[in-house]
């Protein structure tokens, strides 16, 4: 049964950087938030992380649920697996709210994309629902999203803590990476899609941000945004490392190793093709687990410079964020040892007994 905490406080409006109201709940309406619905795919996982519970989430996007089921969040919060996931349907990319289903669920607030036009927000507003708008794609927006979820959950301290964690990890990594000579910097390509055709993340993408953060060079930076390329172009860039997205469930490094052309690329010859991990949410796009992703990538690229005990970091941060102590197999699953296990340098992530530790 849903645990419903009373939060007898009035929420102040949180303004996005563009000045639009992110959180449109009327100030006079100070009923506690007990029922939340989230439409942006990562927002369900982010809300659960900030709230530390899945009890107040009453609706989510179907792809949020598949991410929860695919990763460890479903194991941490089994009740998240049965949350209604039929609240969004239709529209060019599937984020048009199903207002009648939402009305049935009677949420106190619906989280929606704030940067994909008003067409997907207006139906919620017209139905008299409170909306919280979330923007996505940059580190600043990721932090804003945590702040927003903290406001909705009534747990701004938790959100601030998660933001401080990001800040600390990013600052530490950036400082070490900045001191690195240019000739040491490895060329990295993030394949946002690889199962059918190849799509890379160029400049102005979140992947570009963390590749540069850890001291790498985004080989696809001459492009802006996510764009389709051909194998010849990938060979021309000759990346040292290829990162495979965590979205295409069936995609594994074998896609590159078995390709007649790409198997001859430097990254494949040196077995430096890695599938991005998936924890409480996928590690490649912006979410609350990004600091772990940065540590993972930093250590993969420059193991002599970044010496994290990543398994321990996962174990400790999960206890703080989710109140859940992951098992050895949970951590193996997060790091996708089954598909990345034989890649170069990946043995540093294999079985080290988890121990209790410090807070993130």
Partner 1 sequence: MSLLSAITSEARAGRSTLPRWAGALGVAGLFTAAALTALCVGRFQIMPEKAMAILLSRIAPVTPDWSAMDERIVLLVRAPRVVLASLCGAGLAMSGAALQGVFRNPLVAPQILGVSPGAAFGGALAILAGASGYALIGAACAMGVAALAMVGALARVDGRSDAIMLVLTGIVVGALFTALVSLVQFLADPNSSLPAIVFWLMGSFSAATWTRVFVAAPAVLAGMALVWLMRFRINVLSLGEEEARALGLAVDRDRWLVFAATALIEGATVSVAGVIGWVGLVVPHAARMLVGSDQRLLLPTAAALGASYLLFVDSLARAATAAEIPLGVITAVIGAPIFAALLRKTRRKEIRA
The mark string for 102-121 relative to partner 1 (x by CB under 8 A, - otherwise) is --------------------
Per CB under 8 A, the list member of 19, 128, 181, 260 interacting with partner 1 is 260
Per DSSP, the three-state class of 266 is helix
Least spacing, CB of residue 126 vs partner 1, in Å = 22
CB 244 within 8 A of CB 255: yes
Sequence-separated (6 or more) residues with CB below 8 Å from residue 164: none
Least spacing, CB of residue 264 vs partner 1, in Å = 5
Compare residues 189 and 310 and give the one whose CB is closer to partner 1. 189
Which span sits near partner 1 by CB under 8 A: 31-39, 103-111, 221-229, 299-307? Answer: 221-229
Which residues lie across from 226 on neighbouring strands? 201
Interface with partner 1 includes 352 (CB under 8 A)? no
Interface with partner 1 includes 73 (CB under 8 A)? no
Interface with partner 1 includes 93 (CB under 8 A)? yes
Which span sits near partner 1 by CB under 8 A: 72-80, 144-152, 167-175, 216-224? Answer: 216-224
Interface with partner 1 includes 270 (CB under 8 A)? no
Q: How far apart are CA 59 and CA 102, in angstroms?
A: 8
Size of the site for partner 1 (CB under 8 A): 32
Interface with partner 1 includes 30 (CB under 8 A)? no
Compare residues 126 and 196 and give the one whose CB is closer to partner 1. 196
Compare residues 78 and 264 and give the one whose CB is closer to partner 1. 264
Compare residues 49 and 198 and give the one whose CB is closer to partner 1. 198
**Cα within 13 Å of Cα(34), Cβ side:** 13
Q: How far apart are CA 223 and CA 262, in angstroms?
A: 20
**Burial 66-90, CB ≥16 within 10 A → b, else e:** ebbebbbbbbbbeebeebbbebbee
Least spacing, CB of residue 74 vs partner 1, in Å = 18
- Per-residue tokens: 179: 């001191």
Which span sits near partner 1 by CB under 8 A: 20-28, 256-264, 330-338, 344-352? Answer: 256-264
Which residues lie across from 227 on neighbouring strands? 200
Helical spans, DSSP H, in 224-289: 231-237, 254-257, 266-269
**Cα within 13 Å of Cα(285), Cβ side:** 19
Within 10 Å of residue 323's Cβ, how many Cβ atoms? 11
Please report, as ranges, the residues that interact with partner 1 according to CB under 8 A. Answer: 41, 63, 90, 93-95, 193, 195-199, 220, 222-223, 227-233, 235-236, 245, 247-248, 250, 260-261, 264-265
């Amino acid at each position: 049964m849903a645990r419903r905490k009373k939060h007898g406080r009035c929420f102040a409006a949180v303004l996005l950087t563009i000045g639009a109201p992110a959180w449109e709940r009327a100030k006079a309406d100070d009923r506690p938030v007990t029922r939340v619905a989230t439409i942006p795919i990562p927002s369900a996982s982010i809300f659960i992380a900030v709230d530390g519970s899945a009890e107040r989430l009453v609706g989510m996007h179907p792809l949020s649920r598949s991410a929860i089921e695919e990763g460890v969040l479903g194991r941490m919060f089994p009740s998240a697996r049965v949350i209604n996931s039929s609240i969004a349907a239709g529209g060019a990319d599937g984020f048009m709210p199903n207002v009648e289903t939402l009305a049935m669920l009677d949420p106190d607030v619906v989280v929606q994309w704030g940067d994909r036009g008003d067409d997907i927000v207006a139906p919620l507003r017209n139905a008299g629902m409170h909306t919280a708008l979330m923007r996505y794609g940059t580190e600043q927006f990721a932090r804003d999203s945590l702040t927003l979820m903290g406001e909705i959950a009534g747990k701004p301290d938790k959100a601030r803590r998660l933001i401080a964690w990001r800040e600390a990890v990013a600052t530490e990594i950036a400082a070490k990476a900045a001191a690195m000579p240019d000739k040491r910097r490895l060329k990295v390509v993030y394949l946002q899609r690889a199962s059918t055709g190849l799509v890379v993340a160029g400049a102005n993408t979140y992947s570009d941000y963390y590749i540069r953060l850890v001291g790498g060079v985004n080989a696809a930076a001459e492009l802006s945004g996510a764009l389709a390329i051909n194998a010849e172009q990938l060979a021309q860039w000759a990346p040292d490392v290829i990162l495979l997205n965590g979205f295409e469930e069936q995609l594994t490094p074998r896609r590159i190793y078995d390709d007649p052309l790409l198997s001859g690329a430097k990254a494949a010859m040196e077995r430096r093709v890695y599938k991005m991990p998936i924890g409480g949410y996928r590690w490649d796009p912006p979410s609350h687990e990004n600091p772990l992703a940065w540590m993972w990538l930093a250590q993969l690229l420059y193991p002599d410079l970044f010496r994290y005990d990543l398994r321990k970091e996962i174990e400790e941060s999960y206890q703080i964020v989710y109140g859940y102590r992951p098992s050895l197999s949970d951590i193996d699953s997060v790091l996708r040892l089954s598909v990345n296990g034989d890649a170069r340098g990946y043995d540093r992530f294999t079985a080290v007994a988890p121990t209790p530790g410090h807070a993130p």
